[in-house]
Amino acid sequence: MTLHMVVTALLSGAVVGALLGLFGGGGSVLATPLMLYFVGIQDPHMAIGTSAAAVSVNAAMNLVGHWRGGRVKWPCASVFALAGLIGSFLGSSLAKAFDGQRLLVFFAAAMAVIALSMFRKPKSDGNPEVHITWALTLKLAPLGVLTGLAAGFFGIGGGFLIVPGLMAATGMTLANAAASSLLSVSVFGAATSLNYAVSGLVNWPVAGLFILGGLGGGLAGIWGGRLLVGHALIARRIFAGFVLVVAAYVAMRAING
């Protein structure tokens, strides 16, 4: 651990924590690039495992803030998260078998898909009074498994899939889906990081600093989300454009070795 790594890990955690608090879905996508190109972790698998551990805890901390605000639909969120737990273990096991640089190319492609999904405007405002039913459970569970598989493979929280998945399956509002998605982001990240940790692919000191930085960043993101009411779509699109640029950079670095 150098002073550079300490400072950059704290700053990276603050950035990702703020994005998670602000956007929910897609907020954790910059964690791995920050670990690689800002903090200085050289092994792609180590960067993915470490970022998954940190994002999991940061998402859980942000979840508490949204819970206190009454925006989390716990029954729907729990079904989705528990179903996706198996998928995230399978996805992360598959990812560990891939060459690190090739995995980063896939990761860059996933970043681009995430960014493009954030440009989309929801078709409707949704139902803020949605409640779990057996019919909704049968829709949520398969989506949870598939999303967990993708989250585990790419080492991301998967919020960009969770948010539209929750909205499509239940008809809940974007605000409720973004808040509820944090439970799955936390669960999927924990499963992925534990799988990587078994292989010694988590840098726990860096993860701890990242989490510490995410404390302040998460509070700032939740506070900023209240200020962005009515302008959230514009903010998401600006962020999406930035993610596309970072995706191109990650792909270029990975292809060039």
Which string of DSSP letters, residue by residue, matches 154-222? HTS--HHHHHHHHHHHH---HHHHHHHHHHHHHHHHHHHHHHHHHTT---HHHHHHHHHHHHHHHHHHH
199 CB-near residues (< 8 Å, 6+ apart): 45, 49, 96
Give the chain's domain count: 1
Residue with structure tokens 């999991």? 56
Residue 172's closest CA among 240, 82, 87, 74?
Answer: 74
Tell me the two tokens of residue 29.
């996508």
Range of the domain at 192: 3-255
pLDDT tens track, the chain, 257 positions: 799 999 999 999 998 888 877 766 566 788 899 999 999 999 999 999 999 999 898 888 888 888 988 889 999 999 999 999 999 999 999 999 989 888 889 888 888 887 787 777 666 567 778 888 898 999 999 999 998 998 898 877 676 678 878 888 888 887 888 889 889 989 999 999 999 999 999 999 999 999 999 888 878 877 776 666 666 667 777 777 888 888 899 899 888 86
Residue with structure tokens 């959230």? 232
With both helix axes pointing from N to C terminus, report the angle between 74-96 and 174-198 in degrees, rounded to the nearest 10.
40
State if pTM tops 0.85.
Answer: no
Rg for the chain, CA atoms, rounded: 17
Q: How many CA atoms lie within 13 A of 248 on its CB side?
A: 5
248 CB-near residues (< 8 Å, 6+ apart): 108, 112
